[in-house]
C-alpha cells in the first residue's frame, strides 16, 4: 500500500533523509526506530507531504502527488509528535475536525465520534476543554481525530504515528499498541515511531532502524535488535532476559 523509492530530503544543503526503498503492506505494522535526530519524524513528514522531497512516495501504487487532497485525507492519517492547539475547543470538537473530508449525517457524526473516542479511551473527556487536558489525554484525543478521518476510506488507509506512546502512562502505552495492531488486522498499514525496544519486540513483526537519515538495519525485531546493533546505534549495552512465555525482554 505504501512504496518509497529514492526518497531524499534536504534542508539548507544538508541531507536529512536518504532512503533507497521501503514498503508497507496493508495489515502490517512497521516500527521505525533510531536515536534522536536520526530522521524518523522527517520520514513521516515526507510521506504525509509536510516537507518537500525528491523521489517517489506511492500510495496504493499511485504517486501521492497525484492524489486529490480530499481522497488522500481519507486514506492517509498522521498523529504528529506534538500539536499546539490553544483555542478553547472541547475534546469532541477537536475529534470532529477529522470529519472534514467525510460525508456524515449529524447523527452519524455523533456516533462515529463516540466510537473513535471509546477506542482511544478518551470518551470520558468528551466535554473537557482540549487545552486543559494532560499531554497523554491530548494525544489520545488527537488519535481519535485521525481515526475518524480514516473511517470512510475506500482502500486500506495508512496510519502514521510519531511516538504514539511517548506521552502515555503504562496502561495506555499498551492500549495504543494493541489498538494499532487491531487496526492493522482490519487492513490498515501502520508506521509507528517507537523508542521502547521491548514494545517493538512484543508488538511488531518488522522494524527499520534509521541513523543519519539512512536505513541502517531492517527486518524482524528479534534479528535487528541484536545486542551488538543496540550497542552501535544507541551506545548502550542492554541486559537480556526471557519471560515465562519465552518472549525476549531488554533492560
Ligand atoms: P527524529 O529521528 O528525532 O525524529 P527528525 O526527523 O526530527 O529526527 O530530525 C532529523 C534531523 O534533521 C535533525 O538533526 C534535525 O535537527 C534536522 N531537521 C529536521 N527538520 C529540519 C528543518 N526543517 N530544518 C533543518 N533541519 C531539520
Ligand atoms: Mg521525531
Q: What is the pLDDT of residue 195?
A: 96
Tell me the ligand closest to 80's alpha carbon: 2
Render pLDDT for 128-180 as a digit per residue (tens, 0 to 9).
Answer: 999 999 999 999 999 999 999 999 999 999 999 999 999 999 999 999 999 99
Domain boundaries, the chain: 1-75+160-250, 85-152
How many angstroms is it from 40 CA to the middle of ligand 2? 5
Q: What is the per-residue pLDDT for 247?
A: 81
Counting ligands in written order, the one closest to the CA of 16 is 1
Task: Kindly report, residue by residue over 176-227, the tens digit of the pLDDT.
Answer: 999 999 999 999 999 999 999 999 999 999 999 999 999 999 999 999 999 8
Q: Rounded CA gap, 149 and 144, in Å? A: 9
Tell me, what's the pLDDT at 241? 84
1-75+160-250 CATH, one of 3.40.50.300, 3.20.20.150, 1.10.1740.10, 3.30.365.10: 3.40.50.300
β-pairing, 158-162 with 76-79? Answer: parallel
What's the pTM value of the predicted model, to 2 decimals?
A: 0.95
pLDDT at 12 over 90: no
pLDDT band at 246; cut points 50, 70, 90: confident
Q: Please say whether the dihedral angle defined by the alpha carbons of residues 9, 135, 156 and 74, taken in this order, is positive or negative.
A: negative
Amino acid at each position: 500500500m505504501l512504496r518509497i523509492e529514492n526518497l531524499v530530503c534536504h534542508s539548507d544543503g544538508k541531507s536529512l533523509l536518504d532512503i533507497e526503498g521501503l514498503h508497507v503492506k496493508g495489515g502490517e505494522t512497521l516500527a521505525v526506530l533510531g536515536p534522536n535526530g536520526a530522521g524518523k519524524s522527517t520520514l513521516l513528514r515526507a510521506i504525509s507531504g509536510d516537507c518537500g522531497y525528491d523521489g517517489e512516495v506511492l500510495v496504493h501504487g499511485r504517486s501521492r502527488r497525484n492524489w486529490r487532497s480530499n481522497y488522500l485525507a481519507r486514506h492517509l492519517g498522521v498523529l504528529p509528535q506534538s500539536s499546539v492547539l490553544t483555542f478553547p475547543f472541547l475534546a469532541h470538537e477537536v475529534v470532529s475536525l477529522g470529519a472534514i473530508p467525510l460525508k456524515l449525517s449529524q447523527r452519524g457524526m455523533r456516533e462515529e465520534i463516540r466510537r473513535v473516542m471509546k477506542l482511544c479511551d478518551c470518551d470520558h473527556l468528551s466535554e473537557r476543554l482540549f487545552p486543559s487536558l494532560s499531554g497523554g489525554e491530548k494525544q489520545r484525543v488527537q488519535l481519535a481525530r485521525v481515526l475518524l478521518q480514516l473511517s470512510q476510506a475506500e482502500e486500506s488507509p495508512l496510519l502514521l504515528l510519531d511516538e504514539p506512546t511517548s506521552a502515555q502512562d503504562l496502561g495506555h502505552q499498551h492500549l495504543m499498541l494493541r489498538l494499532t495492531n487491531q487496526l492493522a488486522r482490519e487492513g490498515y498499514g501502520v508506521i509507528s515511531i517507537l523508542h521502547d525496544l521491548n514494545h517493538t519486540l512484543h508488538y511488531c513483526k518488522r522494524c527499520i532502524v534509521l541513523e543519519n537519515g539512512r536505513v541502517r538495519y531492517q527486518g524482524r525485531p528479534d534479528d535487528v535488535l541484536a545486542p551488538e546493533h543496540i550497542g552501535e546505534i544507541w551506545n548502550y549495552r542492554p541486559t537480556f532476559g526471557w519471560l515465562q512465555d519465552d518472549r525476549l525482554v531488554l533492560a
